[in-house]
A and B are shown apart, each in its own frame.
Chain A
Amino acid sequence: MLSRRDFLQVAAATTVLTGAGGGLARAAALQALSQRDLLQFEALGQVTLLHFGDIHAHLTPLYYREPSINIGAGGAAGLPPHLTGDHLLQAFKIAPGTPEAYAFTCSEFEALARGYGKLGGLDRIATLVKAIRAERPHQTLLLDSGDTWQGTYVSLQERGADMVRAMNELGVDAMTAHWDFTYGTERVKELVAQLKFPFLCGNVQDSTWGNWAFDGSKIFERGGVRVAVIGQAFPYTPIANPAWLIPGWTFGIHERRVQEQADQARAAGADIVVLLSHDGFDVDRKLAARVKGVDVILTGHTHDAIPQAVRVGRTLLIASGSHGKFLARLDLEVKDHAVSDYRFRLIPVFSDAIAPDPAMAALVAGIRRPYQAELGRVLARTETMLYRRGNFNGTFDDLICDALLAERNAEIALSPGFRWGPTLLAGQEITLEDLYEQTAITYPAAYRQSMTGAELKAAMEDIADNLFNPDPYYQQGGDMVRVGGISYAIDVAKPMGQRISELTLARNGTLVDPAKSYVVAGWASVRQGTQGPPVFDVVRAYLERQKSVSIPPRQLVRVSGADPRGIAACG
């Protein structure tokens, strides 16, 4: 958390922000933020864990609006990370308008974004990592929860090799994975061979004999403490992403395997056990209560940025955000093979306040150089903010759905509820790079098919249950499928198959007929052999024709049955 001094500085910044706009406000706001302040931390104990995850191949700074809707299902209602906007600010006593308010929530997002600027950038993260390593020599472990190799134009062209080089340079100590697997079995093996650190996926088996396919854990010695790190890949990778890309591997939560690995690590002399996870926060909260002897879970997958550690029994859960926006620092004091005290800070990576690390900056520039012309190609301009993250349609999804409806001549559009994809502010140009940051996947075919109203509802019910099932082990961690051409109502508290109602065609206001067939366009189907042009080509053609887009938030989804703390009015 920020110190009192920080708050005072921030208050000054807020005054300026709410006053004049533009360059003066921005300069003043940034004056209140310094690299020194961001690194300020009273060291504790023998070990420092540094953590990030879900960087989605972002090498350079960006805007990323945290969700305004992130509803907690079942027992997770009203608990972090299911607090949005002002609800989060109140729960963690963060003053509105502060750098932290900007980094952790969507409150006043556009105004604050113009003041505080972009977050992230691997060269800035490298500066922080090097400074903390210098302060805590031989005491620091840098761990990555995965979703590292996918998410940008460059990573798609390089098939992940760019990120392997960058992470080797950063000096990551171990990683686990999810989207990284979507380059396919052979490519994953090639990239793992290039890593200078272990790829820990203790919950992946070969599908013939059931043998564990990867190293599951490794014991590191830091500050005289033996730290076991167990890697947990996203358990539902072959369901949420195409199984045909990774034949021969099967995944799962495998709670018993986690317990066995923790027990084996203790037997092998580990003082503490860290689970480096891509389960998603709610899955890990349940796991923490059911597995014994795990001291820390470094969570990932659901992209949550939680300002404080969450305690479940004797386990600390850390949620470090996404897209390189944050670097988490957790200092641990270890006594008698257990954590006796801890101190935590989720450091927002304010790109304008942190000096880029020259070596990483040079590496990033070198990686991007061959693609510079394509990356900067301007496709259109947006008159309104474009964002994705949230349980239901974001405005960038609306744009993609508009493009699918127009370019594929469809009545209804479906777009996946991915949690990755940065934000563009009103007035920004939409470049080819921006477009790929919403769509860069290895199975991009934009299909056009006939679906009955009943089939459409069944598919939506199925996906809604993956999000709102009260038992987190039955959730998959994606957001709700995005829709175009229709609106609907959802009661998130209802059981599977009964949540969706009032499916209505936007063009004439009539209810979708279960028996009637509709032309549906979409992308990211997990089915092998899906036909259609790549979605980035479809949206590109649309944008080049439009030249300018204006997409205010649409009220396509009427939500009921939800805990109100997961819904916020945001800027």
Chain B
Amino acid sequence: MPDSDPHIPATTRRQFVLATGGGLLAAALAGLFPTAAAADATDVEKWLAAFSPAKPTPGKITIGAPDIAENGNVVPITLTVDSPMTAQSYVKGIAMAAEGNPLPAVTVIELSPANAKAEVQFRMRLAKTQTVTAVALMSDNTLWSATKTIKVTIGGCGG
């Protein structure tokens, strides 16, 4: 069992236990989005904790997004995870949250080796300038994260 393998660092073992302990990915995917009307950074942590009970390590996942949004209603997001996407090593899921939106939850995505390339694009809403967070859960149950600040500007006069 990996969680007794002395070659796996302690933090990874702990993450594995936490991530697999209650089938938490499945739980996160089943009863996903909180219904509270207001949300702040604490809520982001709470929501992401359902997906990511251990503290993820920064790295492996990148959030491709404009530094300044053209339109806060339609912000293009590209989530890319550095993974070979083979049967032995792949991305199981990705969760994304936006701390400055009325509901911090944005999406949970399930991938498999069939995807071969761990890259997903979609478009999201941003209520205001804020930092978004994405967490990737790998097949070895390690958790990786990235953040990105996206500016939603109200006026401009470039030229």
Direct contact of A and B (CB under 8 A): yes
- List the interface of chain A (C-beta within 8 A of B): 147, 178-179, 207, 210, 234-236, 238-241, 243, 250-253, 256, 301, 416-420, 458-459, 462-463, 465-466, 471, 473-474, 476-479, 481, 496, 524, 526
Contact mask for chain B residues 92-116; partner A; CB cutoff 8 A; 1 contact, 0 none: 0000000000000000000000000
* Cα distance A253–B158 in the bound complex, in angstroms: 15
B58-110 interface with A by 8 A CB criterion: 64, 66-71, 74, 76
* Residue pair A416, B154 in contact (C-beta under 8 Å): no
The answer, among A207, A459, A474, A478, for a CB contact under 8 Å with B158, is: A478
* Residue pair B76, A481 in contact (C-beta under 8 Å): no
Task: Name the residue of chain B whose CB is nearest to the CB of A479.
Answer: B157
Task: Name the residue of chain B whose CB is nearest to the CB of A240.
Answer: B158
Task: Name the residue of chain A whose CB is nearest to the CB of B156.
Answer: A240
* Cα distance A420–B69 in the bound complex, in angstroms: 25
With contacts A239-B70, A474-B68, A476-B68 taken as known, whether A210 is within 8 angstroms of B76 at the C-beta atoms is yes
B121 within 8 A of A: yes
* Residue pair A239, B67 in contact (C-beta under 8 Å): no
* Cα distance A462–B74 in the bound complex, in angstroms: 20
* Cα distance A419–B158 in the bound complex, in angstroms: 8
* Residue pair A477, B70 in contact (C-beta under 8 Å): no
Q: Tell me which residues across on chain A come within 8 A of B64, comparing CB atoms.
A: 256
Task: Name the residue of chain B whose CB is nearest to the CB of A255.
Answer: B64
* Residue pair A420, B159 in contact (C-beta under 8 Å): yes
Q: Tell me which residues across on chain A come within 8 A of B76, comparing CB atoms.
A: 210, 250, 252
* Cα distance A252–B121 in the bound complex, in angstroms: 15
* Cα distance A476–B157 in the bound complex, in angstroms: 8
B11 within 8 A of A: no
Q: Tell me which residues across on chain A come within 8 A of B154, comparing CB atoms.
A: 458-459, 462
* Cα distance A241–B155 in the bound complex, in angstroms: 10
Task: Tally inter-chain residue pairs, CB-CB below 8 A.
Answer: 83
Q: Whole-angstrom distance from the CB of B128 to the nearest CB of chain A? A: 11
Q: Tell me which residues across on chain A come within 8 A of B68, comparing CB atoms.
A: 236, 239, 466, 474, 476
* Residue pair A478, B67 in contact (C-beta under 8 Å): no
Q: Tell me which residues across on chain A come within 8 A of B70, comparing CB atoms.
A: 236, 238-239, 243, 250-252
B20 within 8 A of A: no
Q: Tell me which residues across on chain B come within 8 A of A147, comparing CB atoms.
A: 159
* Cα distance A335–B159 in the bound complex, in angstroms: 38
* Residue pair B155, A462 in contact (C-beta under 8 Å): yes
Q: Whole-angstrom distance from the CB of A255 to the nearest CB of chain B? A: 9
Q: Whole-angstrom distance from the CB of A468 to the nearest CB of chain B? A: 13
B14 within 8 A of A: no
With contacts A210-B76, A210-B121, A250-B76 taken as known, whether A459 is within 8 angstroms of B155 at the C-beta atoms is yes
Q: Whole-angstrom distance from the CB of A151 to the nearest CB of chain B? A: 10
Q: Tell me which residues across on chain B come within 8 A of A253, comparing CB atoms.
A: 66-67
* Residue pair B67, A477 in contact (C-beta under 8 Å): no
The answer, among B155, B156, B159, for a CB contact under 8 Å with A419, is: B159
- Given contacts A238-B70, A458-B154, 11 further A-B pairs with CB under 8 A are A236-B68, A239-B153, A239-B158, A240-B159, A301-B158, A459-B154, A462-B155, A465-B151, A474-B151, A477-B158, A478-B157
* Cα distance A478–B121 in the bound complex, in angstroms: 30
The answer, among A207, A252, A478, for a CB contact under 8 Å with B159, is: A478
The answer, among B67, B71, B74, for a CB contact under 8 Å with A474, is: B67
* Cα distance A97–B157 in the bound complex, in angstroms: 34
Q: Whole-angstrom distance from the CB of B63 to the nearest CB of chain A? A: 12
Task: Name the residue of chain B whose CB is nearest to the CB of A527.
Answer: B155
* Cα distance A324–B133 in the bound complex, in angstroms: 45
Q: Whole-angstrom distance from the CB of B59 to the nearest CB of chain A? A: 17
* Residue pair A476, B158 in contact (C-beta under 8 Å): yes
* Cα distance A418–B156 in the bound complex, in angstroms: 10
* Cα distance A427–B121 in the bound complex, in angstroms: 59
Q: Tell me which residues across on chain B come within 8 A of A458, comparing CB atoms.
A: 154
Task: Name the residue of chain B whose CB is nearest to the CB of A421.
Answer: B159
Task: Name the residue of chain B whose CB is nearest to the CB of A238.
Answer: B70
26 A-B contacts (beta carbon < 8 Å): A207-B74, A235-B66, A238-B71, A239-B68, A239-B69, A239-B70, A240-B157, A241-B159, A250-B76, A252-B66, A252-B76, A256-B64, A416-B159, A417-B157, A459-B154, A463-B155, A466-B156, A466-B158, A473-B67, A476-B156, A476-B158, A478-B156, A479-B157, A496-B129, A524-B157, A526-B155
* Residue pair A462, B67 in contact (C-beta under 8 Å): no
* Residue pair A463, B159 in contact (C-beta under 8 Å): no
With contacts A210-B76, A210-B121, A250-B76 taken as known, whether A481 is within 8 angstroms of B71 at the C-beta atoms is no
Q: Tell me which residues across on chain A come within 8 A of B71, comparing CB atoms.
A: 238, 243
Q: Tell me which residues across on chain B come within 8 A of A236, comparing CB atoms.
A: 68, 70, 156, 158
* Cα distance A417–B64 in the bound complex, in angstroms: 30
Q: Tell me which residues across on chain B come within 8 A of A178, comparing CB atoms.
A: 159
Task: Name the residue of chain A whose CB is nearest to the CB of B158.
Answer: A240
* Cα distance A477–B76 in the bound complex, in angstroms: 22
* Cα distance A179–B158 in the bound complex, in angstroms: 10
Q: Tell me which residues across on chain B come within 8 A of A462, comparing CB atoms.
A: 153-156
Q: Whole-angstrom distance from the CB of B94 to the nearest CB of chain A? A: 18
Interface centre among B69, B76, B121, B151, by most A CB within 10 Å? Answer: B151
Interface centre among B74, B154, B158, by most A CB within 10 Å? Answer: B158
* Cα distance A333–B70 in the bound complex, in angstroms: 41
